[in-house]
Amino acid sequence: MGIYRHHVLPWLIDRGMRNAAMTRYRRPIPAQATGRVLELGVGAGLNLPHYGPDVTRLFALEPAGSLLGKAAALAGILPFPVTLLGSGAEAIPLETGSIDTVVTTWTLCSVGNLEAGLAEVRRVLRPDGQLLFLEHGRSPDPGVARRQDRLEPAIHLVAGCHPNRSIDTAIEQAGFRFASIERQYLKGPRFIAYHFTGVAKPR
């Protein structure tokens, strides 16, 4: 399992996240970030080219060392300082209230303990900060949700992802309100295509 988890899975994630449709969906999310930014599960750094001029510093958090190495290569060419954090969202090594924007794209499905991870996001955000998210999760259609529940063990084993999480509920329960949210199917098989996109603010 070690070789799969530490080498094959990061390679699969890197390959799987690079396609034109996903680039189109992801581009507007980091573009809205301002100030001191934390990206959760930065992966191979595919969001990095899309950060705008209002970012002053980026903390790139990623537990998979081989992916963090790829992100590091891109980080060097950015016009603001980047600090790589080799840890999971459940224990973010940053001061309370020190971050203006948290960015998460296709990461919350993979965080082992989602409740703990979102509590940490809430802790590190300033009271007037923002959480920008683009995440797939549990469909409101009972038939699709049943399929997600059935496939979850296999998808988690192969891709490290829980496709059946109610991401919007989890964000609200962590102490956020939505400034905006879109819930819709994006392109792809319906059991992984239902997405939540928006901005959440600490309550």
Ligand X SMILES: C[S@@+](CC[C@H](N)C(=O)[O-])C[C@H]1O[C@@H](n2cnc3c(N)ncnc32)[C@H](O)[C@@H]1O
For residues 115 and 146, which CB has a smaller minimum distance to ligand X in the complex? Answer: 115
For residues 47 and 101, which CB has a smaller minimum distance to ligand X in the complex? Answer: 47
For residues 100 and 120, which CB has a smaller minimum distance to ligand X in the complex? Answer: 120
For residues 30 and 202, which CB has a smaller minimum distance to ligand X in the complex? Answer: 30
Contact positions toward ligand X, by CB under 6 A? 13, 17, 26, 40-41, 43, 46-47, 62-64, 67, 88-90, 105-107, 110-112, 117
CB of 16 to ligand X, least distance (A): 7
- Name the CA dihedral angle for 196, 73, 52, 39, rounded to a multiple of 10 degrees: 40
Half-sphere CA count of 66, side-chain side, radius 13 A: 12
For residues 7 and 177, which CB has a smaller minimum distance to ligand X in the complex? Answer: 7
Other CB atoms within 10 Å distance of the CB of residue 165:
21
CB of 107 to ligand X, least distance (A): 4
CB of 122 to ligand X, least distance (A): 15
CB of 11 to ligand X, least distance (A): 12
For residues 144 and 161, which CB has a smaller minimum distance to ligand X in the complex? Answer: 161
CB of 126 to ligand X, least distance (A): 20
Question: Could you tell me which residues are beta bridge partners of residue 125?
Answer: 99
Which token pair is 49? Answer: 């080219």
- Across 37-69, b (16+ Cβ under 10 Å) vs e yields bbbbbbbbbbbbebbeeebeebbbbbbbeebbe
Q: What is the DSSP string of 104-168?
A: EES-TTT-SSHHHHHHHHHHHEEEEEEEEEEEE---SSHHHHHHHHHHHHHHHHHHS--TT--HH
CB of 88 to ligand X, least distance (A): 3
Return the DSSP state at 52.
-
Whether 129 contacts 201, CB under 8 Å? yes
